[in-house]
Chain A
Amino acid sequence: MARRLTAATGLLRNPLARVLIGRVLAGVPVVFAAMTLSFMLVHLLPGDPVNAVLDPTSSPTPEQRENLRHQLGLDGSLPRQFADYAGRVAHGDLGHSIQSGRAVSTMIGDTIGPSLQLAGAALLLALIASCAISLIQVSTRHRPIRALATILPPASLAFPGYWVGIVLMSIFAFGLGWFPATGADGLSALVLPAVTLAIPATAFLTRVLSAGLQEALAQPYVLIARAKGATPRRVVLRHAFRNGLIPTITVAGLAISYLLAGAVITETVFARPGIGRTVVAAVSQHDIPVVQGFVMLFAVVFVVVNIVIDLLYVVADPRITTGRAALA
């Protein structure tokens, strides 16, 4: 017992472990909120959810209605229903699809791989592109190029992502034949979807990164570095860029949820396997257990990503641990 206690306090002294424990605990309410939200979803909205699920033309019998009600977990009192739902979710049981009868957790497990691959590739591309663009912004003397690097990223946000995908497809797949238009065979099939998804992410990351860079360049240590005779390249890359990168880590992490959501549309455009097809089909068929399952998935992704970001921070900047401890 005593040894376990010392082991526990020893764990608490380790800053990394302390942050980890804190963030996992902080994630609990988010996941709980997502669960409550997806539970309430069915109840808050007008009309009987059973009607929304059933095909109105088939004139279901009362027994069919009751069976479905039971299957959806909609019988019993509200608190009872919520407790049942929470208990099932806590055991990793996300219910079964109304349309196919398959377990929702299996459906997610089967489809999430390609989507994570796509979102990851897009994030990587966006990080590289935004670094390049914001470095161009601060280092070029050529005014037209700087103007272009400043105007293009925000302007790209005005173009709908699915349309950009189709345009890229018609140029690079049908016109030039460089990449396949659809499917998921190998790396070349990943290029166009990843670029499509990366464009809006690049715009967001560039905004954060160039603001960070500009702020860092105005700091006294940059002046000192210049005074010491550091070359402009060294000042930007070694001094300003490294510090300007820190806020970008947060935004890049937050971008993952949005990239995964964006993957739903991109996958539809490029007919790629992934969560997209499952989500779109579930939404159009009112397959509520599946939709609820994906809401939970996004909550978990959000929490996990936040934990990873915080750990990255601790690794990147030791000051943060002390600051966080003071706050807590």
Chain B
Amino acid sequence: MIRRVTIGLALVVVAVFVVWAIVPGMIAPGEPGTTDLLNTFASPSWAHPFGTDDLGRDVFDRVVHGTRSSILVGLGATLISLLLGGTVGLVCGLSRGWLGQALARVVDMLMSFPGLLMALTIISVVGSGSRNIALALGVASLPAFARLVRGEVLRVRDQPFIDAAVGAGVRRSAIVIRHVIPNVAGAILAFAGIALGIDIIAASSLSFLGFGPALPAADWGSLIAGGRDSVSDAWWITFFPGLMVALVVLAVTRLSSRGGAGPLEPAA
């Protein structure tokens, strides 16, 4: 019962954020950057549910308009690590020769570096901005995906139905596409959901550190960075954007960890 309620809530949260991301103008019709110097640091009210900031800008408007880039960066990063890490893991798991072994060792070594450090290192070369954050985070969590996919492939590879397919003379590529990938997809996609949450947090952290989109565009991380200096007068400027990060991460994680019932989950 509680499970159902939390999953329902998670769906509602995700739906709200999807609407915010696609049509922010419908929810917050004003220009998000409109300043109102007579109304600075207004605490949350009906007119300004999340209050206003140091220039009198409505925090709710800015949060709604920052939804798209905040979530897209995380999605992009997860997609990159899913595709690249998945490919590397597949090669690792399928190759019985030195290539698989060598790649697996490289992946293990990369795992010893904190993702944040790796992402910062990449940003130091490619520069800041949403696209580069997605690239940096995608590469940073590539090893985790590669390791998981490798493990799953190794698990599936020795199953009897693979032997049966080989025995029936199915081509190698067809075995990989029709038999291996569908059987590892469930676990990988569940992990991708968790990774999406981690990537959204990491992207907002990098944006908080000042590597996010250029001003005046603002995602949730840079909104928090902007409100940090006035946190003693106006807690709401930093509080609400961070709460949105937490809500979206909680919802995404809840949906991805509901387990066994997904259509992609193999009936075990």
Contacts and interface: CB of A to CB of B under 8 A. Distances in A.
Interface string A257-279: 11011101100110000000001
Given A41-B121, A155-B250, A295-B117, A265 B239 contact: no
Contact of B209 (A46, A163, A268): A268
B121 A280 contact: no
Contacts of B246: 158-160, 163
Contact of B242 (A29, A163, A288): A163
B124 A286 contact: yes
A288 B124 contact: yes
Interface stretch (B19-27, B153-161, B197-205): B197-205
Contacts of A280: 120, 209-210
Interface stretch (B48-56, B82-90, B108-116, B180-188): B108-116
B128 interface: yes
A170 B235 CA distance: 7
B231 interface: yes
Contacts of B231: 166, 169-170, 174
A282 B106 contact: no
B124 A298 contact: no
B208 A162 contact: yes
A105 interface: no
27 contacts: A37-B110, A42-B125, A45-B125, A52-B125, A158-B197, A158-B245, A159-B245, A159-B246, A160-B204, A160-B205, A160-B221, A160-B245, A166-B224, A167-B235, A170-B238, A260-B114, A262-B114, A264-B117, A268-B209, A282-B124, A283-B121, A284-B211, A286-B125, A288-B124, A295-B113, A298-B114, A302-B112
B116 to A, nearest CB: 5
Nearest to B225: A162
A167 B113 contact: no
B114 A265 contact: no
A257 B124 contact: no
A264 B245 contact: no
A68 B27 CA distance: 51
Contacts of A264: 116-117, 120, 209
A261 B117 contact: yes
A284 B109 contact: no
Given A166-B228, A284-B210, A279 B242 contact: no
Interface string B119-131: 0111111111000
A181 B235 CA distance: 14
Contact of B245 (A46, A163, A269): A163
B228 A261 contact: no
B124 A162 contact: no
Contacts of B197: 158
A12 interface: no
A268 B241 CA distance: 18
A160 B116 contact: no
- Interface hub of B113, B127, B205 (most chain A Cβ within 10 A): B113
Given A158-B246, A170-B232, A286-B127, A163 B121 contact: no
Given A169-B231, A264-B120, A158 B253 contact: yes
Contacts of B208: 160, 162, 265, 268
Contacts of A158: 197, 201, 245-246, 249-250, 253
Contact of B116 (A38, A261, A282, A287): A261
A287 B201 CA distance: 25
Contacts of A162: 205, 208, 224
Which residue among B110, B124, B125 has the maximum number of chain A CB atoms within 10 Å of its CB? B124
A284 B232 contact: no
B156 to A, nearest CB: 25
Contacts of A288: 124-125
Contact of B238 (A163, A261, A286): A163
